[in-house]
Amino acid sequence: MKLTPHLAARLGALALVAVFLQVAVVAQVPVLGASGDLSPLVVAAVGLLCGAPIAAGMGFSVGLMLDIALLQTMGLTSLVLLTVGWWSGRLRETRDPQSTLTPLVVGAAAAAFATIAYGAGQFLLGVDSPLSWQLGKDIVSTVALDTLLAMPVCALVRRWLSPALPEDLRRRRRRAYTTGGLSPLHRA
């Protein structure tokens, strides 16, 4: 998919809003002891809609903004979210999943990968963090909460980006069949 100026403007606004909501709202309101993480969900949704290169750029941008806003280790969140965006975009490009549960599964996988990879990166960089059962419990609860948030986040991202996305070829084919075009089962 080609990055048009209209799509780039919408992606930039989406990145700013996602980072603001993550820092100001979602991280401050724990639900059952876990705080959600919107960033991998937004990046994975962009990957499912726009493909790997655009989602990887979105992941890098969102990660860099989060690192700057939270004064974290520079580049670690960018690397993790770049990977999430790339693989969710590659899933779209190679498999083109059509199931309604795809955002749920991809969101859960993105949240699990982002949480575990960020923790492993912090550990490898020598940041002092306690390793205990509480860490495992926090990872599981964060992934469970993000799994519940995956469908609404993906729906909101789809609604926000749909005016800037090119028309889907499958929609055109379906419309041709319903408007009197030949059925794929019909032989001439």
Contact of 42 with 25, CB cutoff 8 Å: no
**pLDDT at position 97, please?**
78
188 within a domain of the structure (yes/no): no
184 within a domain of the structure (yes/no): no
Taking CA atoms, 182 is separated from 66, 162, 169, in Å, by 51, 28, 16
CATH number at residue 109: 1.10.1760
Cα–Cα dist 5/169, whole Å: 21
Number of domains in the chain: 1
**pLDDT at position 165, please?**
84
Residue-number span of the structural domain to which 153 is assigned: 5-178
Q: Averaged in consecutive runs of 10 residues, what is the pLDDT profile of the chain (188 residues)?
A: 88 95 85 83 93 93 93 90 94 83 91 90 79 78 89 93 73 49 58
CB-side neighbour CA atoms (13 Å) of 140: 5
33 within a domain of the structure (yes/no): yes
